[in-house]
Chain A
Amino acid sequence: MRNHTVKAAALVAAGALLLSACSTNKEESPGGGGDNQASCDQSKGTLVVGVIVPLSGDLEALGKGISQSAQLAVDQANTECKVPGYKLALDAQDDQRDPTIGAQAATKLASEESIVGVVGTLNSSVAQSVAPVLAQNNILQISPANTNDTLTKGEDYLNSPKRQWKTYFRTCTVDSLQGPYAANYLVGQAGKKKIAIVTNGLTYGEGLADTFTVQAEKKGAEIVTRQKVGENDTDFSGVISAIKPFNPDAVYFGGEYPQAGPLSKQLASAGINVPVMGGDGIFDKTFIELGGKEGDLATSVGAPTDELPSAKAFIDAYNKEFEEGSFGAYGAFSYDATNAIIASLAETIGDGEWSADKRDALLEAAQKYSAEGATGQISFDENGDSTNKVLTVYQVKGTDWASVETGEFEE
């Protein structure tokens, strides 16, 4: 009876959905580009740089920043003929922030011979399932955002570091540097002795808070309390009231700016007017828009961006190329990671042809890679970690971050 009209309606609706989806897809279609690169020799074919990040759901914005920054590096390589004879293309895959889907995306990328390297992932938990797949297929992976130490140096990374996957590298910093560096500054330079810690329960924040705690206590500060907020919480009054009786003179937050900003604001209005400090996850202008207050602190890897010409060049180029979506916290690292893949590839291929046999040589080239990137000097140590151990402390001044101290972490 009415089943039939109903089916027809469903079909029409499905068709309409499909149409609307297709039409928005067009601009992003990777087939579209390629006009302005006519000057380069691209006769030998197309090589692919993969990206594995969340492109749907909550973390889509950060993922998009990573994938667009990688796109920028690829486009620049094409216009500047960085890889002779080849055209480069970017293949960004969604991992849905799920280890399962991430592993599938990795297998999918790995199944193509033209894949030369993968930029990703965003989440350390996803990296744990992506890295083994890529390692099995001998594919270079450079993460712009995984800060978990165990990914490069194994479970017992403090006492007996042991490289996990020979294909895994990263351009970002690790928790065991960033947390302690922040502790040195906050306890040493800023002289804070009673510190409260708040985390959001995710890998990044917990790892940062753990390493911060160890170093801060070593430096003689007291961690008066450690509290946890839910990853989607916005009302922090419970945590704030729990902290208040301890009268801390600083709060260290393990998490990202969407929560750090409101937390800082709510702390201040509840009368806890002390600086909030965090890692590179809160080093974003949005932190200040969301409530970050004068005097709040953040660490970020590399020399201050305003002193690095390469950083400024990246930001300008990015804003010129993409109208939509900021590069976010990890865009610069992604740009550097992609450039590392491209440069190592050019080195490996030389005048020859690409084949899957060259993947070993590519890994070696990446291991030896060294160049100035948007986040500073980029090269990798024997575990695949970035050798860029320079960190900068930034402080909120007015409506922007200003660098206050730059250096390397020392015990």
Chain B
Amino acid sequence: MTTLLQQIANGLVLGATIGLIAVGYTMVYGIIQLINFAHGEVFMVGAFGGLAVWRFVLPEGMKEDWYVALPLMLVGGVVVSVTIAMLMERFAYRPLRNAPRLAPLITALGVSIALQEAVRIWFPDADRSQSFPRVFINTQVKIGPVEIPATGLLLIATAILLGLLVQLYVNKTRMGRAMRATSQDRDTARLMGVNPDRVIVLTFVIGAALAGIAGVMYGMHVQTLGVRAGFQTGIFAFTAAVLGGIGSLPGAVIGAFIIGLVERLGGQYLPGGTAYAYVWVFVVLILVLVFRPQGLFGESEKVRA
């Protein structure tokens, strides 16, 4: 029983990380129908951005106080990931906006590979795993029989809070309305005075900011960082977005928590053990796509292309 509860807690922490990334996936897909494979890499560069602030910017004295170090690192991570995402949108995706669907997908794969390699080659010592500082309170929090590091709780809280904030933003603000309009029909939105380019950039920015925050917090949680950190998490996040119904913000976050739970509980209780934990996520993905292609919360569409 303790193990079950503990694995559920682990799954929620993993799900929170995935959820923060999945929001970016689902928003970008909702607006320009692009599977931005490189979004996992945005998460990774965000984490490296935070690490860079810690290593090269923060003076020795400030590293101890988490309320100074953590916000600065988060800012660093967000700045880096947002910059990368904007460059990516401007130079890789925007020129292909009217190209056949295959082209941007291949481009995204290219961006993903190039980003991983660029960081590995040019970030100091990134050719091997790095230790990442735990700038937050370094204790285990006990909830009944379950123990979670404080950073894990922070991740869960952040994911839920930011998920709600973005949802509010999209539903309540003028810009959010423009986003929804653009995702429904870009040309009509343009006729109504919406500048689609601005909306699309903003979408990338919001997604990247969340991924950057996730990157720094995740690095802090596991206390290690490598350039391959983004790829698998990114694929999980995409799976979560699809599971939740792509285009749906609450769906992405809830889908992410489900994926996290499947990964951890599958590894614990399904045959094959932890060796196959990774496989179950993909099995779930295939089953969802085959039997409920619109996802758990997605609206049914007649044609999915």
Direct contact between A and B judged by beta carbons closer than 8 A: yes
Known contacts A230-B278, A290-B129: A266-B222 contact under CB 8 Å: yes
Contact B3 A262 (CB under 8 A): no
Contact A262 B268 (CB under 8 A): no
> Nearest chain A CB to B110's CB is how many angstroms away?
14
Contact B274 A291 (CB under 8 A): no
> Nearest chain B CB to A17's CB is how many angstroms away?
11
Contact A244 B224 (CB under 8 A): no
Partner of A228 from the list B147, B221, B273 (CB cut-off 8 Å) is: B273
The interface residues of chain B, by DSSP majority, are classed as: helix
Task: Tell whether A214 is near chain B: CB-to-CB under 8 Å.
Answer: no
> Nearest chain B CB to A131's CB is how many angstroms away?
27
What 0/1 pattern do residues 213 to 255 of B give for CB contact below 8 A with A? 0000010011111101101100000000000000000000000
Known contacts A235-B221, A238-B7, A290-B131: A271-B140 contact under CB 8 Å: yes
Known contacts A245-B3, A269-B149: A238-B275 contact under CB 8 Å: no
Give chain A residues whose Cβ lies under 8 Å from the Cβ of B299: none
Contact B147 A245 (CB under 8 A): no
What 0/1 pattern do residues 268 to 305 of B give for CB contact below 8 A with A? 10000111011000000000000000000000000000
Which of chain B's residues 144-198 have a Cβ closer than 8 Å to chain A? 147, 149, 152
Give chain B residues whose Cβ lies under 8 Å from the Cβ of A242: 3, 7, 267-268, 273-274
Task: Tell whether A237 is near chain B: CB-to-CB under 8 Å.
Answer: yes
Give chain B residues whose Cβ lies under 8 Å from the Cβ of A234: 222, 224-226, 229
What 0/1 pattern do residues 205 to 244 of A give for CB contact below 8 A with B? 0000000000000000000000111101111111101101
Known contacts A227-B274, A245-B3: A232-B228 contact under CB 8 Å: yes
Task: Tell whether B39 is near chain A: CB-to-CB under 8 Å.
Answer: no
Give chain B residues whose Cβ lies under 8 Å from the Cβ of A236: 222
Give chain B residues whose Cβ lies under 8 Å from the Cβ of A290: 129, 131, 223-224
Contact A201 B147 (CB under 8 A): no
Partner of A232 from the list B131, B223, B232, B273 (CB cut-off 8 Å) is: B232
Task: Tell whether A194 is near chain B: CB-to-CB under 8 Å.
Answer: no
Contact A261 B228 (CB under 8 A): no
Known contacts A227-B274, A242-B3, A244-B6: A235-B267 contact under CB 8 Å: no
Give chain B residues whose Cβ lies under 8 Å from the Cβ of A261: 129, 131, 224
Query: In the bound complex, how far is the Cα of B263 from the Cα of A270, in angstroms?
Result: 19
Contact A258 B129 (CB under 8 A): yes
Known contacts A234-B222, A242-B3, A258-B224: A269-B140 contact under CB 8 Å: yes
Task: Tell whether B65 is near chain A: CB-to-CB under 8 Å.
Answer: no
Residue among B17, B147, B224 having the largest count of chain A Cβ atoms under 10 Å: B224
Task: Tell whether B206 is near chain A: CB-to-CB under 8 Å.
Answer: no
Query: In the bound complex, how far is the Cα of B134 from the Cα of A262, in angstroms?
Result: 12
Give chain B residues whose Cβ lies under 8 Å from the Cβ of A227: 273-275
Task: Tell whether A60 is near chain B: CB-to-CB under 8 Å.
Answer: yes
Contact A235 B274 (CB under 8 A): no
Task: Tell whether A162 is near chain B: CB-to-CB under 8 Å.
Answer: no
Contact A291 B128 (CB under 8 A): no
Query: In the bound complex, how far is the Cα of B218 from the Cα of A13, in angstroms?
Result: 36
Query: In the bound complex, how far is the Cα of B120 from the Cα of A60, in angstroms?
Result: 10
Give chain A residues whose Cβ lies under 8 Å from the Cβ of B229: 232, 234
Query: In the bound complex, how far is the Cα of B17 from the Cα of A64, in angstroms?
Result: 33
Query: In the bound complex, how far is the Cα of B225 from the Cα of A259, in angstroms?
Result: 10
Contact B275 A201 (CB under 8 A): yes
Partner of B223 from the list A201, A229, A257, A265 (CB cut-off 8 Å) is: A265
Known contacts A262-B223, A265-B223, A266-B222: A228-B274 contact under CB 8 Å: yes
Additional A-B contacts beyond A232-B232, A235-B222, A291-B131 (16; CB < 8 A): A61-B127, A227-B273, A230-B232, A235-B13, A237-B152, A238-B10, A238-B264, A238-B268, A241-B6, A242-B3, A242-B273, A242-B274, A258-B129, A261-B224, A265-B223, A290-B129
Closest 6 CB pairs of A and B: A258-B129, A228-B275, A237-B10, A262-B224, A61-B127, A241-B6
Can you give 5 contacting A-B residue pairs, CB < 8 Å? A234-B224, A235-B14, A237-B10, A259-B129, A291-B223
